[in-house]
Structure 1
Amino acid sequence: MSTTSGRPRRATVHDVAVVAGVSRGTISRYVNGDPYVSASARHAIEAAIAEVGYVPNTAARHLVMQRTETVAFIVHEPHSLFIEDPNIGGILLGANAALSEADHQMAVLIIDTERDTERVAKYLSGGSVDGAIIVSARAYDPVARVVERLRLPAAFVGHPPGATSAAFVVIDNRGSAHAITERLIGTGRRRIGMIAAALDRDSGSERLAGFADALGDRYDDNLVERVPLYSYSAGRDGMNALLDRAPDIDGVFAASDAVAAGAMEALRAAGRRVPEDVGVVGFDDSAWARRTLPALSTVRQPAEGLGRQAATLVLEQLRGDITPREVLLESEIVWRESA
């Protein structure tokens, strides 16, 4: 098949119909997954498609079905952290696996600036996706409000304040932070501080709350350094600030493994040994935890499981189950040499 311009002509439904000996309507029903196509017609159509090289026009099919079979994966983090944080990658891979099994595509959207927020809001409003998975949403996040206004099937990883009408997949951040802080207290530490990150979202604020719960009357807000992001550099800078204020600190709970790794670098530079002088614990059990020396005691959260479950919740809504629900996944302490 060729044209006068020399470019190959795209095979059409008509070409398939001629070779298969069936009507174009039968082919249309086959392409759209209609079960009322006989086995003989199905075999003839499949053979004809292979012979003429026909590729269905998915855009036209989606227009008829009013579906794109695409789900947005929205990450509200700086570009640098998207690369640095292994948890985001794990969540993405888990979500993609579940969507792929359902023959859906993923569109990854990163929000770093206010301009990104406006761009993503316009993209979602244009009907380019059927649903959304939202990671790292802030309290009363503007994109979350857009998703709710559009009534877009959605699932959050976490449960940011202000989000009410979507589905959520969570871990017990507060309880897990409480448990690992208690374990750190049990090693005999007396001056325990925290590098508390990302307090504008539920995970960060709940981890700080769990830390305070575990210490009770021993909690000292002067031993809490608040940093903006779950990042290595935030951990390093936060640890330096804590050492300046409290040079006798002997235990640190870092709000993530990346933060903990940065804190351990700062401690080494200050001549403090881990765990002999300062015990350090983190949160995530990401690649950072196995990259540190000594290996990091931490809380294991199932990153891929969070992504897979979030995608499943969106797919459920696309199939007609519109009742929002929250799914809690287990997390556990992994105790290593850093404390």
Structure 2
Amino acid sequence: MTADVSPPVRPATLEDVAAVAGVSRATVSRVINGATTVDPALRRVVEEAVATTGYVPNRAARSLVTRRTDSIALVVSERERRPVAEPFVGRMFSDPHFGRVVGGVLDVLRPAGIQMVLMLADDEASRNQLLSYLRQGHVDGVVLISSHADDPLPALLHDTRLPAVLAGRPLRPSPLTYVEADQRAGAQMAADLLVSLGRRNIASIAGPQDRPAGQARLDGFLDSLAGHGIGEVEVAEGDFTHTGGASAMRKLLRDRPGLDGVFIASDLMALGALPVLLRAGRDVPGDVAVVGFDDSSAALACDPPLTTVRQPVEEMASEMARLLLKQIGKSGRPEPSVVFHPTLVRRESA
């Protein structure tokens, strides 16, 4: 008895797609390779033909023609490793801000068929490893999340001539494109609200002062209070973590026990700070009005729910991805930087 052996199914080709779409092979190739000069109606016809035939592009062959990998690196740069209660990776994945950035970037990359590679750089060895990977052409571009003001990576990235977009304005002058929220303006909103509520004994849990966002938020807050005639402000520096916020609040209560208003430079720090206030017998907002920054999931986890300054993190992350793809399409020419405007979200803490 002879076995029934079916012939192997032949993969669909560009010619098959062209025949179904009724266009030339060259037109199909232009659509698949992302050419922007194809008429939208014609593009839809070709895309429908691709779906009908089940055509799958040969990425290896395509990359030889386009010199692209169809992948980008999301690089998170941290300070040199040092003993901490929670390792760098643990802090990163426990911070709701990071998840929002990843979600916003993927919202743009997925429809474009672009893969994202997550890479970490927290000491000289890992930076060198990262730069070697980038120079070998494994990705088409980089979105860089840098955590500190003296980070050498922006300059090193520029030297690679790889398309790159920064999350946040760098303190040092840089030709790289960046996307950020107006941190100073957001902090000024927090100060103006506390003053409008009649608070005068005001303090702040600041973000790390070696980070651009930490500096900008504190400067904006203090400048606004000075404009209202309030020059004596107690400041405790935190580290943008839950435990850092709790520790900083205990310090504020020791140094300024009569405080009646607090600006906390991140919602995650506020999540740690509010229970300290409540355990000290201070009612929020009756005794102490509290304003945070970010409008992350931590703001709703606070008790009471946190009044906070919203920076549109997902929209900013999506814009970073869009600007990077534009640069890649223009052979790396930088795009104009973009600054988003924050808004104040009123809840029950102020």
Q: How does 1:85-124 map to 2 (within 5 A)?
A: 85-124=95-134
* Structure 2 match to 1:220: 232
* Structure 2 match to 1:133: 143
* Structure 2 match to 1:300: 310
Q: Which amino acid aligns with 1:175?
A: A
Contact 1:99 1:311 in 2 (8 A): yes
Where structure 2 has 5 or more consecutive residues not aligned to the other structure, the ranges are 1-7, 79-87
Contact 2:241 2:269 in 1 (8 A): yes
Structure 2 residue matching 1:188: 3-state secondary structure: coil
How many residue pairs align between the two structures? 318
Cα shift at 1:80: 2.1
Taking structure 2 as the reference length, the TM-score comes to: 0.80
Cα shift at 1:95: 1.2
Separation in structure 1 between the aligned mates of residue 253 and residue 147 of structure 2, nearest angstrom:
31
Contact 2:187 2:217 in 1 (8 A): yes
Describe the shift of the 1:181–1:46 C-alpha distance in structure 2 as closer, same or farther (beyond 3 A): closer
Q: Which amino acid aligns with 1:62?
A: S
Structure 2 residue matching 1:128: 3-state secondary structure: coil
Contact 1:71 1:105 in 2 (8 A): yes
Separation in structure 1 between the aligned mates of residue 150 and residue 344 of structure 2, nearest angstrom:
31
Structure 2 residue matching 1:282: 3-state secondary structure: strand
Separation in structure 1 between the aligned mates of residue 193 and residue 209 of structure 2, nearest angstrom:
23
| 1:6-52 residue CA offsets vs partner (Å, 9 max, x unmatched) | xxxx9998x969999x9xxx98996674799xx9xx89x969975xx
Separation in structure 1 between the aligned mates of residue 178 and residue 14 of structure 2, nearest angstrom:
47
> Paired residue for 1:188, among 189, 198, 207?
198
Quick check: 303-312 or 179-188, which moved more? Answer: 179-188
Structure 2 residue matching 1:101: 3-state secondary structure: coil
Q: How does 1:2-21 map to 2 (within 5 A)?
A: none
1:144 aligns with 2:154: yes
Cα shift at 1:176: 1.1
* Structure 2 match to 1:4: none
Q: Which amino acid aligns with 1:212?
A: L
1:71 aligns with 2:81: no
Q: Which amino acid aligns with 2:138?
A: S
| 1:115-147 residue CA offsets vs partner (Å, 9 max, x unmatched) | 433332222222111111112342242221221
Contact 2:71 2:117 in 1 (8 A): yes
* Structure 1 match to 2:5: none
Where structure 1 has 5 or more consecutive residues not aligned to the other structure, the ranges are 1-9
Separation in structure 2 between the aligned mates of residue 319 and residue 158 of structure 1, nearest angstrom:
22
* Structure 2 match to 1:267: 277
Name the % identity: 35
Cα shift at 1:56: 4.6
Cα shift at 1:102: 2.2
* Structure 1 match to 2:59: 58
Cα shift at 1:197: 1.0
* Structure 2 match to 1:327: 338
Contact 1:31 1:56 in 2 (8 A): no
| 1:200-223 residue CA offsets vs partner (Å, 9 max, x unmatched) | 2221111000111111152335x1
* Structure 1 match to 2:3: none
Describe the shift of the 1:88–1:47 C-alpha distance in structure 2 as closer, same or farther (beyond 3 A): closer
Describe the shift of the 1:247–1:100 C-alpha distance in structure 2 as closer, same or farther (beyond 3 A): same
Contact 2:189 2:309 in 1 (8 A): no
Contact 1:133 1:155 in 2 (8 A): yes
Separation in structure 1 between the aligned mates of residue 294 and residue 72 of structure 2, nearest angstrom:
26
1:169 aligns with 2:179: yes
Separation in structure 2 between the aligned mates of residue 243 and residue 277 of structure 1, nearest angstrom:
13
1:80 aligns with 2:90: yes
* Structure 1 match to 2:4: none
